[in-house]
Amino acid sequence: MTATNQSAASNRLRRSETPRPGTGIVHLGLGAFFRGFGCVYVADAMAASGGDWGIVGVSLRSPETRNALADQDWAYTSVTLAKDGEAFRQIEVLNDVLVAPEDPEAVIDAMADPGVKIVTLTVTEKGYCHNPATGRINLDHPLIQADLMNPLPQTAPGFLVRALQRRKVAGVPPFTVLSCDNLPSNGKLVCAIVLELADRIDPALAQWIAQKATFPSTMVDRITPATTEADILRVQERTGQFDAAPVLHEPFYQWAVEDDFVGGQRPDLAAAGAEMVADVTAHENMKLRMLNGTHSSLAYLGFLAGHETIAETVADPVFASYVRNLWSEEITPTLIAPPGVNLADYADELFDRYANPAIRHLTYQIAMDGSQKLPQRLLATMTEAIDAGRNCRGLCLAVAAWMRYVGGVDEAGQPILVKDPLAEKLKSLSQEADGPAEAVAALLSVREVFSAQQASLLQLPVAEAAESLWRQGSRDAVAELASS
């Protein structure tokens, strides 16, 4: 990310003279979220307890982040967006940033280095090249097909397998694989994907990984909106330094991590405030369903209603009532609270975070890649509710809104640029349908998103929600739901 500024060269942010740590972590998918979350935790852990836990970041697609950070010696500004103002902090935990398409060999070399003990990932749901409805790797994915044939991979699973293969051949212990993506049982998921891909390449490698590597599951939580050109200029005005790649985030952060690392080697994350647990399931279900599930619901319905951000959406009393009802009536009955957590209090805290006007979290941004997000954010909750005989009409309306959204035309007849791996397929199915009920039936047939069981359970209630949504629009449909 860049901003045009004639004085940038003279007052560009510079790394301090503090000696940099050795590299102990490689991170795949270096975007704003991990720089505003994981890097901050690691920096705090080293400040508390030392250790060589410097990070080499890897961009799997674009050189944009590398180009922005290179002239700053990989330092950047972390900006906390509180209701009462902004706080600025310089983060200096990155030691390098590699761009995988430019030099995949350099990425494997970095991951194979014996000093690297952990490989972390934030590659989003679609970066795992799996089928979200089944959790299995998609062996027909063209990039996975390429990774099976070529020892210089293109995908995150491919880099994990090839780097572990390099370590096995060299007699170096494996690294811990630590997924930081919003996926249920993310450690178990990436483990299964890696093992299946490795088995296709070399069954002995798969066996070695299964025996010696670890894949802890995690729950991560910090709202990190996309950085804009206006943000870059404002940070420069406030700090007196030009930073081409600051990250902005809310004050809140939470990281629950299963404490299962190869050889017990990890940063002192507990000293940085992380919760080191034996099983992260309760934490991740709470967060995926209560935060991510309602984020997606508000994103699709709010976008269709003309709301640009989540804060703007929940400032609308109709949507404020809607999201509170989702929590109390449809989502929390499906959850077991983590120890010491009151789910009603957690919902109140979430609402306050959503309502923070300093966080411009775009509904359009959250709406991206819905085909990858719906199974874990909404569908599991809905399936459990229906099986238990409970109401989930609000979530059905959210799924109907996603179906309207992927049709590529909003309620005013204006085009929507749908960003989704299945965008063309979803748009075609929606536009060829004759009315909402037919659109629902067509989209429920997409097995990459909905299992056959889910399609059967959801057909009638989602069709009813779609009829209401198509007939009167998003906001009125939400209002009608609240009054019925």
Alpha helices (H) along 202-333: 203-212, 229-239, 281-286, 293-304, 310-315, 317-325
- For residue 415, how many other CB atoms are within 10 A of its CB? 8
Backbone angles phi, psi at 36, to 5 degrees: -95, 0
User: How do 254-258 and 118-121 pair as beta strands?
Assistant: unpaired
What is the C-alpha separation between 252 and 81, in angstroms, rounded? 10
pLDDT of residue 8: 55
pLDDT of residue 133: 82
User: What is this structure's pTM?
Assistant: 0.90
The CA distances from residue 430 to 370, 409, 411, 461, in Å, are 15, 10, 14, 18
- For residue 106, how many other CB atoms are within 10 A of its CB? 15
Cβ-contact 150, 164 below 8 angstroms: no
Backbone angles phi, psi at 329, to 5 degrees: -100, -30
- Give per-10-residue mean pLDDT for the chain (484 aa): 49 92 98 97 98 98 96 97 94 98 98 98 94 89 95 97 98 98 94 97 98 98 94 96 97 97 98 97 96 98 97 98 97 95 98 95 96 94 94 97 96 95 96 95 96 95 97 97 86
For residue 74, give the amino acid letter.
Answer: W
Q: In what order do the strands lie in the sheet with 254-258?
A: 218-221, 254-258, 275-277
What is the C-alpha separation between 325 and 310, in angstroms, rounded? 16
Instruction: Reduce the DSSP state of residue 173 to 3 states and report it.
Output: coil
pLDDT of residue 9: 55
What is the C-alpha separation between 354 and 168, in angstroms, rounded? 46
Cβ-contact 277, 257 below 8 angstroms: yes
The CA distances from residue 240 to 18, 88, 118, in Å, are 21, 11, 35
User: How do 23-28 and 54-59 pair as beta strands?
Assistant: parallel
Q: What residues contact residue 395 under an 8 Å CB cut-off, 6+ apart?
A: 293, 297, 326, 330, 331, 378, 381, 382, 385
Angle, CA 141 vertex, CA 138 and CA 147 arms, to 5°:
100
Q: What is the 3-state secondary structure (H, E, C) of 430-480?
A: HHHCCCHHHHHHHHHCCCCCCCHHHHHHHHHHHHHHHHHHHHHCHHHHHHH
What is the C-alpha separation between 428 and 10, in angstroms, rounded? 52
Cβ-contact 51, 80 below 8 angstroms: no
Ordered structural domains, the chain, with CATH:
8-277 (3.40.50.720), 281-483 (1.10.1040.10)
Among 213, 214, 227, smallest CA distance to 68 is for 227
Among 382, 387, 393, smallest CA distance to 450 is for 382
Cβ-contact 213, 174 below 8 angstroms: yes
Angle, CA 169 vertex, CA 163 and CA 170 arms, to 5°:
90
DSSP code for 260: -
What is the C-alpha separation between 47 and 43, in angstroms, rounded? 6
